[in-house]
Amino acid sequence: MKTRDLLGFSLGALRGHRLRTWLSLIGVAIGVASVIMLTSLGEGARLYVTGEFSSLGSNLLIILPGKTETRGAMPVIGGAAHDLTVEDGEALRRRVPQIERVAPVSIGTATVAYGDRRRDVTVIGTTHDILEVRELRMGAGRFIPEGERDAPVCVLGAVVQRELFGNQNPLGEMVRLGDVRLRVIGTLAPRGTSIGMNLDEVVEVPVDTGMRMFNRTGLFRVLAQVRSHTAMEAARRGVLAALKERHDNEEDVTVLTQDAVLATFNKILGLLTAVLTGIAAISLTVAGIGIMNVMLVSVSERTTEIGLLKAVGVTTRQIVHVFLIEAALLSTSGGLLGLAIGIGAGRFLQHLYPEFPVQPPWWAVVAAVGVSLAVGLLFGSMPARRAARLDPVEALMRKRA
């Protein structure tokens, strides 16, 4: 038998048992679709986290009050013996040559009001440098002036501006933020959510103004922008040394780098993706067992055909090839169907949640289709060998009986 004859014979056998063929196809398709969807979610989570941290800015050190208590995936911040102050940030600018900009950050919540319109907002107390450190853009007006730490002025996020002023120009208008009256000097361009905070729903004020509003003595954190990526480690060591000296020779701050945090998340999400892939692979194994059962039933039902083929001179190897081709056709077709379902479901999920990047990694696509074919061949080999061992005379006599 030629290869074309083997393929035609296998296709004819599959078409002759359509219900059984479709059930086998669906079994493999579900397994492959599960692999594609779960790896897509894992990869999407990794890309989302990477994008979120990248949106913080480039070459960034995040300085938190309190010392890391344990080493591991996520730092556990203990209590701080000393407050992290604006003066600490200024000292870092002077004493750590690798640092280009420093932005102190204090955070609180308050109600902002203009006329009879009001809403709750997050209030960020900071300085002019945060504009470059966080790569923010102005929509109108100007940001907090350089060197200004305590002034009755504010900058509104895009959503806050729209809800308080509508189409009216807010520049120069007075708003009430908590118990303080502030003049609006600028508005931010729309930015969206970054690391869990919607920057369109904030009000930015000078750092001392913000700390006085909420009766704070210490900062929430300090963001330091390093001059180059290669200087990150030197800058981190310099920050720790400078603050240790300022805080009575006590190391009571934690310095995080974007690379370290991203590496930790990538490790966690990579492990999660591997676990999800393993769970999904169980579906492929179950589908492979289904293919084996289908092929075993096919062997028992086609005993006469096998006997006739062997009687007319078809070799044992060709008989094995017939059944292996059937198994390969089932598993490959099911794999491609599952691939289409998985990618389609991912795109639908992407349509529902545009901010979450759902896409399968290339290795998952190759592996899912390759494994589905391998599963078909593996579980189809036993029925193929069983068919090849049939004696043609016994096979024909069994049908006559």
Integer Cα distance of 140 and 163 in angstroms: 16
β-bridge partners, 117: 114
CB 230 within 8 A of CB 67: no
**pLDDT recorded at residue 295:** 64
pLDDT value of position 171? 94
Per-residue pLDDT at 193 = 76
pLDDT for 375:
74
pLDDT of residue 394: 58
Report pLDDT for 185. Answer: 96
> What is the C-alpha to C-alpha distance for residues 101 and 129, in angstroms, rounded to an integer?
6
pLDDT at residue number 105 = 94
pLDDT of residue 393: 54
Q: Please, are residues 44 and 356 in contact by the beta-carbon 8 Å criterion?
A: yes
pLDDT at 74: 47
- Would you state the pLDDT for residue 43? 79
The amino acid present at 177, given as its one-letter code, is L
Chunk the chain into consecutive blocks of 10 residues (it has 401) and report each block's average pLDDT, rounded to whole numbers: 57 62 77 82 77 69 76 47 87 92 93 92 94 89 90 94 92 93 94 78 94 91 88 90 89 82 73 73 68 64 63 69 75 84 87 81 79 74 64 54 44
Q: What is the largest CA-CA distance in the chain?
A: 103
Q: Sign of the C-alpha dihedral, residues 230, 235, 237, 238?
A: positive
